[in-house]
């Protein structure tokens, strides 16, 4: 037997209705917010991710699926969705469309991680990007889109944490203060933090190591270092969110894992999965487009993992709507099969979902099957039904029967 590769998962027919439901809700919300879909390839030139995400991040330094193709080009399977969107924005001159441009993607992403509980090497992400507006109203717009989706899906115990990590100017000052504070402790910190200390000290605030966390808890807060412009932006965002009725908390420990963030960063977290977990993360990345060769373009966006969302909704006891056939037309004998086919076809032409027997089972077994697939109504067609032109429609939920002429069944349902 050939097994599925480590860290990947099949979405089975018995589960796919959950995916379809979430994807439908995503499309509905994006339509409400006038967010258009973009589809980018599954793989890109490796350089795109080195330049956009930052080569000191865990994603790039340890987790990318990178290989040489037959033309000796370094190719990487998308580890996230934002960089590809930015590449496409520049390459296709999308700024020539009227700005702002709001886009969403639904895409598989690949990270070579140790496949612990819930950590997949291929997972699926929904993300939104808004290009062209530096306004805090744009930040609030994408936060609102995420909030609307999560609320519509019925995610419980949802909290929004926001922070500002400033612009490169204020971050320079903060990095100096942070390094001053950490200098006497860095020898006690984990190897990752030691590496980050020179390359990107801000990421030390993100370390999950308990001892590092303890040291970091006394570190200077970035909000005390941001410039007037960044401060005003963050202040305004809070006012807009309050006005929109979106509850939030300012949480100075959020820095997000990727290098391209500027100013606003945010996370929707929930306690529904036991320990506090992130459902959705995002922020502003005004330097991303220019970092990969485009004109400076303000952007703000977020991403959320579909697998995680499903896990969360399952934990919330969510009843996902699923689709079942409306009619099961049972066939009593081979002589009636053509009549059954005709009824099934006519029902479908009229927009009713209909199913029948393909296994030459007994009528009793066919009813069992109809029950198993959750058909709403079942009808048996046999010699007597064909002769009399009448049949009984059985409602499967309570067994209630109603006699109808076959013409009615075909033409008037
Ligand atoms: Zn600033
Ligand atoms: Zn650490």
Domains along the chain?
16-167+226-315 (3.30.930.10), 327-411 (3.40.50.800)
Distance 62 CA to ligand 2 centre (A): 16
pTM above 0.85, yes or no: yes
Neighbours of ion ligand 1 (CB under 5 A): 166-167, 169-170, 227, 230
Residue 169's φ and ψ, nearest 5 degrees, are -65, -55
Neighbour count for residue 236 (Cβ, 10 Å): 15
Helix (H, G, I), strand (E, B) or coil at 3: coil
Q: Identify which of 162, 135, 148, 150 has the alpha carbon closest to the alpha carbon of residue 34.
A: 148
Helix (H, G, I), strand (E, B) or coil at 376: coil
Distance (Å, rounded) from C-alpha 270 to C-alpha 318? 15
Distance 123 CA to ligand 1 centre (A): 34
Q: Token digits for 312?
A: 């969360």
Distance (Å, rounded) from C-alpha 89 to C-alpha 82? 10
Distance 233 CA to ligand 1 centre (A): 9
Relative to the alpha carbon of 171, which ligand is closest?
1
CB 343, CB 349: distance < 8 Å: no
Torsion angle (degrees, nearest 10) of CA 168, 169, 174, 179: 70
**DSSP alpha helix (H) spans, 222-305:** 228-244, 288-291
Q: Token digits for 4?
A: 């599925």
Distance 31 CA to ligand 1 centre (A): 33
Distance 64 CA to ligand 2 centre (A): 21
DSSP code of residue 222? G
249-250: strand order across its sheet? 36-37, 101-110, 122-131, 299-305, 277-284, 262-270, 158-164, 249-250
Relative to the alpha carbon of 264, which ligand is closest?
1
Tens digit of pLDDT at every position of the chain (413 positions): 999 999 999 999 999 999 999 999 999 999 999 999 999 999 999 999 988 877 667 777 778 999 999 999 999 999 999 999 999 999 999 988 889 999 999 999 999 887 665 578 999 999 999 999 999 999 999 999 999 999 999 998 899 999 999 998 888 888 899 999 999 888 889 988 888 888 778 888 878 888 998 888 889 998 999 999 999 999 999 999 999 999 999 998 888 766 678 999 999 999 877 666 889 999 999 999 998 999 999 999 999 999 999 999 999 999 999 889 999 999 999 999 999 999 999 999 989 999 999 999 999 999 999 999 999 999 999 999 988 889 999 999 999 999 988 887 765 44
DSSP code of residue 278? E
Relative to the alpha carbon of 234, which ligand is closest?
1
């Amino acid at each position: 037997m050939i097994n599925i590769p480590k860290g990947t998962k099949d979405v089975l027919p018995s589960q796919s209705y959950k995916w379809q439901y979430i994807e439908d809700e995503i499309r509905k919300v994006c339509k409400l917010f006038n967010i258009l879909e973009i589809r980018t390839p599954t793989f890109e030139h490796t350089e795109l991710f080195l330049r956009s995400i930052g080569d000191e991040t865990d994603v790039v330094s340890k987790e990318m699926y990178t290989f040489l193709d037959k033309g000796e080009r370094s190719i990487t399977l998308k580890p996230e969705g934002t960089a590809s969107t930015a590449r496409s924005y520049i390459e296709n001159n999308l700024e020539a469309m009227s700005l702002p441009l709001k886009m969403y993607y639904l895409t598989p992403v690949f990270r070579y991680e140790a496949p612990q509980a819930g950590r997949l090497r291929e997972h699926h992400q929904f993300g939104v990007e808004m290009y062209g507006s530096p306004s805090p109203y744009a930040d609030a717009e994408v936060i609102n889109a995420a909030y609307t989706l999560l609320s519509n899906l019925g995610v419980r115990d949802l909290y929004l944490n926001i922070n500002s990590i400033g612009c490169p100017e204020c971050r320079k000052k903060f990095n100096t203060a942070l390094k001053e504070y950490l200098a006497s402790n860095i020898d006690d910190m984990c190897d990752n933090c030691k590496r980050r200390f020179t390359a990107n000290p801000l990421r030390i605030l993100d370390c999950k190591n308990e001892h590092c966390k303890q040291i970091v808890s006394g570190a200077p807060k970035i909000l005390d270092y941001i410039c007037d412009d960044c401060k005003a932006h963050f202040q305004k965002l809070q006012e807009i969110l309050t006005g929109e009725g979106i509850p939030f908390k300012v949480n100075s420990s959020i820095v997000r894992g990727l290098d391209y963030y500027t100013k606003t960063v945010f996370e929707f977290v929930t306690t529904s999965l036991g320990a506090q977990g992130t459902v959705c993360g995002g922020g502003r990345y005004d330097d991303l487009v220019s970092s990969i060769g485009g004109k400076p373009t303000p952007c703000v966006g977020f991403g959320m993992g579909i697998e995680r969302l499903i896990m969360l909704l399952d934990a919330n006891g969510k009843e996902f709507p699923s689709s079942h056939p409306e009619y099961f037309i049972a066939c009593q004998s081979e002589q009636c099969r053509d009549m059954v086919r005709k009824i099934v076809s006519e029902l479908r032409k009229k927009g009713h979902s209909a199913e029948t027997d393909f296994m030459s089972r007994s009528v009793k077994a066919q009813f069992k099957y109809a029950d198993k697939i959750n058909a709403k109504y079942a009808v048996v067609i046999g010699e007597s039904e064909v002769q009399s032109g009448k049949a009984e429609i059985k409602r499967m939920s309570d067994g209630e029967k109603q006699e109808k002429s076959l013409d009615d069944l075909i033409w008037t349902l």
